[in-house]
Amino acid sequence: MTEQTNIPEVVAEVTNSFERYNQAIESGDSVALNSFFWNSPLTVRFGPREHLFGYEEIANFRTGVWMPGAPRVVERLAVTTFGRDFGTTNAMFRDTAGKVNRQSQVWVRTSEGWRIVAAHVSPLPD
């Protein structure tokens, strides 16, 4: 399996999806954000104050309660892919107030393109 880890073009695809997702966060585009998640009841997203199970809960959160936060900058990013259809992104962000947040995503290539099947966002404790 090691020869199938981090195939350069697959890493580039997952990284591009990660960057586009984060651009949608920065612009407050909930429609775009929803499109990055796998449309399935099996999709999960844990946030700082929410636990969302299934695409519908995620989409309802994004189009209802969610508001974009302070602008943030990626401090560290780890992208790991396995084969051509599975990858993870793990990032540390710092916002303008100096707070650090962590974001982990599991990406899978679907017939619609790369989609997040599981995500977790949490602030670094003070």
Number of folded domains that form the chain: 1
Q: What is the pLDDT of residues 25-84, one digit of tens each?
A: 999 999 999 999 999 999 999 998 999 999 999 999 988 877 777 789 999 999 999 999
Q: What is the pLDDT of residues 83-124, one digit of tens each?
A: 999 999 999 999 988 999 999 999 999 999 999 999 999 998
* Rounded Cα–Cα distance for residues 12 and 4 (Å): 14
Backbone φ and ψ for 92, nearest 5 degrees, come out as -115, 130
User: Going by C-beta distance under 8 Å and a sequence separation of 6 or more, which residues neighbour residue 114?
Assistant: 13, 14, 17, 36, 87, 107, 108
1 has pLDDT over 60: no
* CATH number, residue 112: 3.10.450.50
Report if pTM > 0.75: yes
Residue 11 is inside which H or E element, if any?
helix 8-27
Instruction: Check if the beta carbon of residue 114 is closer than 8 Å to that of residue 17.
Output: yes
User: What size, in residues, is the chain?
Assistant: 126
